[in-house]
Structure 1
Amino acid sequence: MIEYMEISIHCYSKKFVNLQENYFHILKLHSDQYKVSFNIDSCSEPKFSYYSLISPNSVEKNNELASCSDELLRTLRDYQDGAPPDVVEIESLSIGCEDNYTLNLEKHHFKGMFALKKLNVSCMVISSLPHDLFCGTTPWLNHLTISSTGILILPEKLFTNLPFLRTLVITKNAIEKLTDEVFWGLDSLTHLKPESNKLSMLTDLVFLPLKSLHILNMKNNSLDSLPQSLGSLSQLTFLDLSNNNLVEVSYDMFQGLKSLNRLYLTYNKIFQFEHESLTGLKTINYLDISGNVIQYLPEGMFQSSSLHTLSINENSYNEINPENFLITPNLRELNLAQSSIISLRSELLFYSPHLRLVDLRGNFVTELASDFLSKSPQLVYFYLQGNKISNLSSNFFHGTPILEDLNLSSNNFTILSSLLLKNLSCLLYVDLSNNSLKSIPKGFLSELPNLQILNLSGNELTNLLPDFLNGTRKLNKLDLSNNNIITLPDNIFDPLRFYDGFHHLELQNNKLEKLPDISFLEVSYLNLAFNNIEDISRDNFHNMTSLTHLNISHNAIDTLTNSPLILKYQNVMSLDLSGNSLSEIPNKMLMEAIRLQFLDISRNKLTSFKFSIVSNMQELSELRLAFNLIKNLKTLWYENPLPSMKVLDLSHNLLSKENTIQSKGAPTMEKKQWENLSPMNKFPNLEVNVLLHYNIRYFRVVHGKLEF
């Protein structure tokens, strides 16, 4: 049956009082069958303006109920056809159907709906679309959507009676072909969207009637060629042909599109552009031909002074000729990423002085000339990650004074010039991760007062100079993870002592044995995992009241007895102590961590764990105690439940079947119920409870039921 109908009604008469009596009575709505909402607006009598939504339940109980959804549509049509013109008129109608329901649209189905301006039909199955479906309908219909219907064919001259239609959306159907006369009569159409169909053929004259068309979206089809009539669309400003099967662009494919601004040819199978195939597009400002198999770009291919965004990434050309950019003085964004480029000539960007973004990531470039960016004074974003560059000259960025985002990650850098970032006072983000850097030169960051994010992870750093962070007054994230750092200078973080914006510090996967003074940092995220830290002193985390996520897992910590780690930190939400050598957790260590949600103490040497340690944590949802030496669940007993607990992991401990049962005389484990386990019955919302061990077969508790 029809799943929903949304009807917008325009009421302009003082006879609105008759609306419910004369209109809804005739519709015979069944509240169990239909979800029908009526949006009433523009009523002349203010006292009725609050009728913005009238439920089907408002119909009198003694009405004869409609038994068929098609009857409802017929009733709408018949009533509207004979309704007095001074009562109500339907302006907008949306029809949706349940899966596999067949909607029967008949000849003249919408006859009489003279005020209808917007019609949306979305049903999985439509029996057919009669060519005279819209005969007798209002000529003022300006928006028509027929989507997700499974229709294969649009009848010729289907839209002939809709001279003022401006938007036609026929997406997500199964249409395979559009013929010459299918769009006849659509002189006013400005938006046409036949995207996401199965279109493989467009006859030569199909677009000829569409003299006013501005937007044409045909992406996600199976087109391997375009009709000659495409060139007749002189008013077209937007054309999307993405995700089709086009293999080449001929010299005359886009001739006649003199108003085109945006062209998308992404993810086709294009391997070549014929000479001068784009020269007629004088007004083009956005061109995207990424995701094809283009091996060669003809000389002078881009010849539009209006072009400001060019994406030719994800192709297969090895080099690009600077002469292609001779007539692109207003280019703002150039994307050449992932295109198998081996080398780039120094003058490539000389003819586009207004570039703001250059993306060269994912190529095979080994070197760049020192003057490569010398004519790019407006460059803001420069992406060079994923190449094979081992060095850049000290003056490489001297021509880019307003550069903000620099990504040099995943290259082969082993050394850096201390002057490489000189005078880049606008720089906000620097990524040098995944290179082979062994050191950072003195003064490297000294002229970056606005730097916010610095990523040096995945290098071979063994130490850093005490003045490493000098000049970085606004840093908020520093990533030094995955290096070989053994020690950090005691005063390395001093430049950030009076700055409260530094929130994120990553030092995991190094060889740190101790920490410098970081107690004054207002960090919220601190990761020290996989180091060689043996002791956490009281001073390490003193006054770090903003800390919310702390990870000190997989170190060599064997005791916390003299280290009230987060005693005063009520904001901590995640604490990972796993992979150490802890034999006990001090009772008062976490007493004020009332917001803690995640606690992992797995892979230690605990022989017991008292739940009084976490008894105040009403938000704790995940507790992991796996791979310890806990023998008896009775030691876990406590009186106060934890209402937010979702996951409790006790796997790989020394539990046995006997001591998991609260009562010695209890039945075998296979017959035990949730309530007989101690203390798991204290977790009313527990979803997963794992007790895996060689002596106990795997089982879990899901929503209070034991499952083996």
Structure 2
Amino acid sequence: MARTTVYLIYLLALPFSYGYNGDSFELECPDECDCHYFRINWVTDCSESNLTSIPYDELSLSVYILDLNGNNITSLQRFPNDIKMRRLQIANNRLTRVDRDAFKGLDYLIDIDLSGNNISYVDPEAFLDSHGLLNVELQDNPLNMIEGPFLMSSTLQYLDISNCNLSIINSQFFDNITSLTTLDLSNNPLISLEGDVFNVLTSLETLKINDCKLNIITGNLFSSLINLKNLEMAGNDLSNINWPEVLGTLTRLEYLNLRKSGLTSLSEDTFSNCTNLVTLILAENELRDLDVAVTLGNSVNHLEVLDLSNCKIKGPISGDAFANATRMKSLYLSGNPLFAPDLQEALAPLPKLEKLFLSNCGLSNLPDNFNVFENLLELDISHNPLVNVFTRLLAPLEKIEYLNMGYSNLSYIGPETFAHMTSLKKLVLSGNDLLSLEAGLFGNLTQLTALELEFCGLKRPINANAFFKNLTYTDLREIKLGGNPLVIPPTGPLFPKQLSQVTVLDLSNCNITSLNPDAFKNTENLTELNLASNQIKAEDESLLFLETLRHLEKINLSNNNLTTIDPQLFVNNPKLHSINLIGNPFICDCKIAEMWDWANMIKGDLDVLIGAKSAEKDIVVKGNKKKKYLYCHYNEAQLRNMTIITNKTVPGRRPFVKPREWTYANRTWAKYVRESGCEPVVKILRPVALIADFFDESHGRNISTPALILAVMALALGLGTVIMTLRLFQKRQVSEMDTENNRKQR
């Protein structure tokens, strides 16, 4: 009787034990894939798995997001009937065409990503069954010339066909996708756009035709785009365009980007009808003789952002250049040869200016009328050959909150330089060969929140003398010291007590090989610590400094020399929710599995391990196609035994359906944990795993009382999991309609 009881308990508990390699397997999941819930949606991540075909027969009908990016899939077949997939990602595969039946029956499809394939043909009716389709990504495919309408979809709002080798857009191209609000045609060799090609797109709000080698645009091209607000035409050759005629009907235009478009001159009525223009980008054009006052005229009364960076303006900017742009809040003049006296006169009419960027302007001195800019909050004077005697000129900027003086050949900054900038919140001094910091330099910056001292040749992190003695800088929360050849002391703290409230610290690329246990004794409030691109090894005491960081939430240890990692290292970091270990030469052993189980079951979220599974940024429109994963590698001896290990069923791990063999050493952590043969070691998992082992060994034996107790514990775990699962699905049913409506509103 006891034996039967244990058997029944084991059958109840076993289904729940097969989820502990990091995934939830209430729903079907193909062998080569990583499956998990993203919020309440079932995600099947088969990306970068060397697939040559889609595992149609292994997919759950409830899959919400299917990620097949980065495989070797060459063709598409029909998906199973009644599948409820919303987002399909097949980017960076080897597809050559999309036929009519490829997506037949995908009634729920909202987003599809087919970018980065070799697709030359797309059937116009390919998405006819997807009645709620909103977004299609086809960029980076060699599409053949399209004759007639391109696609049929009454709901499509976002279409990206950039870099598709299209040389002609015929007049019927958009006839059956008239609901488009965003269209990207960038990086196609169009050369010319003529006639009424956009006439049916009356709902279009954003149009991108960057880098299309355009040199011909007819005057009436945009005449029907009555709702167009954002227009990007950067990277073309538009030197001979009749701009007043082309832009004349775009009365609602708010954002215009003509960056690097071959412009050499602009007439005085270029923007005469663009009376709602808020942002104008003319950067990287050879506007040597630009008369800013004449070009802007009276038509830019609403202009708030003007970018004239790197326009090679050779003449002095006239005093009335910005006279009619009195609402200007952000002005970018970086990369133009400027002189302080001319600049002083031109900026005088801009008392409302909040952001001024003068980087790389050849300035050896600064205008002396900064007292005019009572509202100036951000100033960038970086990459200028500034002398070390401009303290007096900056003194009036008492309200400034952001100051960038980086890469300005400064070797000395006087202790009075920032004495009056008591509102300063972010100071950038990176790229100056400072070597040391003067006593009292940051003394009056009591509201400073961020300090950047990257690549300054500093060997000592920060000298206590740079701050007032016995004063804690409570607002200073972020310090960046990356790229300095720091010499780490073998004992004692790195930073003075004045910085005890710092929460974000960047020590990346500092040639650090180890940190002593008391390195952060004076900065125990750290929540984010960046130690990326150093030389930290997996030695016994290399990470003991973590014991003092009880408030730590994020740590970046990527691209170091770690070969193993133990979850016990983080036992004193209860708030930790993000660990970046990508790029380390990890060896595939059971410590990897322990870390996985710790993140999944103790922390309750695999997202704690960056690169363990697809993140939110990987499942959005125009998302990141090439994800960075956590990898480990087998040595040769391990690889020889892999066939036996990977076909072994381990309680607590999902078994493989088909026999398999490995011939390559690098594995993602997700795949290694499953195939490793490492049993779950997290305490909460032990009852389930032990019951399974016990039953295998108990044939012909009497069942002991401890075994029955263990079985009851497993049953309790199983029942608890059932209750949580039922609640999850109830929540999913209630929220699914709201989620669907939210996605349709994008």
Under a length normalisation based on structure 1, what TM-score does the superposition of the two structures give? 0.56
For the 8 Å contact 1:322–1:347, the answer to whether it is kept is yes
The equivalent position to 1:479 in structure 2, one of 345, 357, 365, is 357
| Matching residue of 1:121 | 28
Q: Whole-Å Cα distance in 2 between the matches of residues 237 and 520 of structure 1? A: 54
Q: For residue 481 of structure 1, report the CA deviation from its aligned partner.
A: 0.9
1:202 counterpart residue number = 77
Alignment partner, residue 566 of structure 1: 442
Q: In the alignment, is residue 332 of structure 1 matched against residue 205 of structure 2?
A: yes
Give, in angstroms, the shift of residue 412 of structure 1.
Answer: 2.0
Which of 139, 142, 163 is residue 291 of structure 1 equivalent to?
Answer: 163
1:19-418 maps to which residues of 2 (within 5 A)? 64=6, 72-73=14-15, 97-98=19-20, 120-122=27-29, 124=31, 147-148=44-45, 153-154=55-56, 168-169=63-64, 171-172=66-67, 198=73, 200-202=75-77, 217=88, 219-220=90-91, 222-229=94-101, 238=110, 240=112, 242-243=114-115, 244-249=117-122, 253=125, 262=134, 264-267=136-139, 269-278=141-150, 284-303=156-175, 305-371=178-244, 372-417=246-291, 418=293
2:304 pairs with 1:446: no
Change (3 A) 1:233 1:148: closer
CA distance in 2, matches of 1:63, 1:236: 44
Q: CA deviation at 1:292?
A: 1.5
Q: Could you say what secondary structure the match of 1:121 adopts?
A: coil
Shift in Å, 1:357 = 0.9
Structure 1 pair 324–537 and aligned structure 2 pair: CA distance change class (3 A)? same
Give the Cα–Cα distance (whole angstroms) in 1 for the partners of residues 85 and 409 of structure 2. Answer: 65
Tell me by how many angstroms 1:549 deviates: 3.4
Q: Which amino acid aligns with 1:547?
A: L
Equivalence for 1:433: 309
Structure 1, 285-294 or 380-389: larger mean CA deviation = 285-294
* CA distance 1:335–1:253, change in 2 (3 Å): same
Write the distance in 2 (CA, Å) between the matches of 1:245 and 1:466. 55
For the structure 1 residues 173 and 569, does the alpha-carbon distance in structure 2 shift closer, same or farther, using more than 3 Å as the test?
closer
Contact 1:566/1:593, CA 8 A, preserved across alignment? no
Q: Does 1:419 align with 2:294?
A: yes
What corresponds to 1:183 in structure 2? Answer: none
CA contact 1:477–1:505 (8 Å) conserved in 2:
yes
Specify the SS of the correspondent of 2:334.
coil
Q: Which moved more, 1:62-71 or 1:441-450?
A: 62-71
Q: Deviations over 1:224-266 (max 9, x none)?
A: 334444798797885635234420346x545967967646251
Change (3 A) 1:63 1:287: same
TM-aligned CA distance change 1:441 to 1:121, over 3 Å:
farther
Whether the 8 Å CA contact 2:84–2:107 is kept in 1: the answer is: yes
Q: Per the alignment, do residues 287 and 421 of structure 1 end up closer, same or farther by CA in structure 2, a change over 3 Å counting?
A: same
**Contact 2:232–2:258 (Cα < 8 Å) also in 1:** yes
Cross-structure match for 1:488: 366
Q: Pick from 451, 454, 459 the counterpart of residue 336 of structure 2.
A: 459
The 8 Å contact of residues 442 and 466 in structure 2, kept in 1 or not, is answered as no
Distance in 2, Cα, partners of 1:147 & 1:554: 45
Helix, strand or coil: the match of 1:324?
coil
For 2:410 and 2:191, the matched residues in 1 are separated by 48
Aligned to 1:106: none
- Name the stretch that deviates more: 336-345 or 281-290: 281-290
Q: Give how far 1:641 is off.
A: 6.6
Q: Percent of aligned pairs with the same residue? A: 19
Structure 2 residue identity aligned to 1:594? Y
Q: Following the alignment from structure 1 to structure 2, what is the Cα–Cα distance between the partners of residues 125 and 216?
A: 19
- RMSD (Å) for aligned C-alpha atoms: 5.6
2:192 aligns to what SS in structure 1?
A: coil
> Greater strand percent: which structure?
1
Q: Distance in 2 between matches of 1:414 and 1:172?
A: 49
Alignment check: 8 A CA contact 2:139 2:160 kept: no
**Would you tell me which structure has more helix in proportion to its own residues?**
2
Residues 519 and 622 of structure 1, relative CA distance in 2, 3 Å threshold: farther
Q: Closer, same or farther in 2 for the Cα pair 1:483/1:63, shift >3 Å?
A: farther
Q: Secondary structure at the match of 2:197?
A: helix
Q: Once the 2 structures are TM-superposed, how far is the Cα of residue 552 of structure 1 from its aligned partner?
A: 5.0
SS of aligned partner of 2:263? coil
Distance 2:191 2:382 in 1: 39
Tell me how far apart the structure 1 counterparts of residues 322 and 74 of structure 2 sit (CA, whole Å). Answer: 56
| Partner SS state of residue 415, structure 1 | coil
Give, as a single letter, the amino acid of the residue that structure 1 aligns with 2:500.
Q
Aligned match of 1:41:
none
Q: Deviations over 1:362-411 (max 9, x none)?
A: 33333432312111000011111233222222221121111122222222
Return the offset for 1:356.
Answer: 0.7
C-alpha distance after superposition, 1:29-64 (max 9, x if no partner): xxxxxxxxxxxxxxxxxxxxxxxxxxxxxxxxx973
CA contact (8 A) 2:30 2:55 kept: no
Q: Distance in 2 between matches of 1:231 and 1:617?
A: 58
Partners of 1:432 and 1:455 within 8 A in 2? yes
Q: Any conservation in 2 of the 1:292–1:315 contact (CA below 8 Å)?
A: yes
What's the offset of the Cα at 1:319?
A: 1.8
Q: Which structure 2 segments of 5+ residues have no match?
A: 34-39, 486-492, 511-519, 532-539, 550-554, 557-568, 570-746
Which residue number in structure 2 is paired with residue 656 of structure 1?
Answer: none
* Secondary structure at the counterpart of residue 467 of structure 1: helix
SS in 2 for 1:334: strand
Aligned to 1:594: 473
Counterpart Cα distance in 1 of 2:416 and 2:55: 75
Tell me, in whole angstroms, the C-alpha distance in 2 between the residues paired with 1:245 and 1:171. Answer: 20
1:618 has 2:494 as partner? no
State the distance in 2 between where 1:231 and 1:594 align.
60
Please tell me the residue identity of whatever aligns with 1:171: L
Change in 2 beyond 3 A, CA 1:494/1:322: farther
Residue pair 1:322, 1:349 contacting (<8 A) in 2 also: no
> 1:271, CA displacement in angstroms?
2.9
CA contact (8 A) 1:359 1:383 kept: yes
Which amino acid letter does the alignment assign opposite residue 295 of structure 2? Answer: L
The 3-state SS of whatever aligns with 2:324 is coil
Task: Report 1 or 2 for greater relative contact order, CA contacts < 8 Å, sequence distance ≥ 6.
Answer: 2
Distance (Å, rounded) in 1 between the aligned partners of 2:105 and 2:435:
76
Scaled by the length of structure 2, the TM-score of the pair is 0.54
Residues 171, 536 of structure 1: alpha-carbon distance in 2 compared, 3 angstrom cutoff: closer
- Tell me if structure 1 keeps the 8 A contact 2:132–2:155: yes
Q: Aligned partners of 2:380, 2:89: CA distance in 1, in Å?
A: 46
After TM superposition, the structure 1 stretch with the greater mean CA deviation from structure 2, 263-272 or 425-434, is 263-272
Q: Please report how far the alpha carbon of residue 280 of structure 1 lies from its aligned counterpart in structure 2 after TM superposition.
A: 5.6
Distance 2:147 2:54 in 1: 37
Seen in structure 2, the aligned counterparts of structure 1 residues 590 and 237 have a Cα distance that, compared at 3 Å, is same
Following the alignment from structure 1 to structure 2, what is the Cα–Cα distance between the partners of residues 575 and 146? 40
Distance 2:452 2:157 in 1: 51
- Counterpart AA for 1:290: S
Alignment CA distance shift 1:168-1:538 (3 Å): closer
Q: Which amino acid aligns with 2:272?
A: H
Alignment partner for residue 512 of structure 1, among 386, 394, 418? 386
What is residue 666 of structure 2 aligned with on the other side? none
Equivalent residues of 1:258, 1:283 under 8 A apart: no
Structure 2 CA distance for aligned equivalents of residues 267 and 376 of structure 1:
27
Do 2:145 and 2:167's aligned partners in 1 also have CA atoms closer than 8 Å? no
Q: 1:275 to 1:534 in 2, by over 3 A?
A: closer
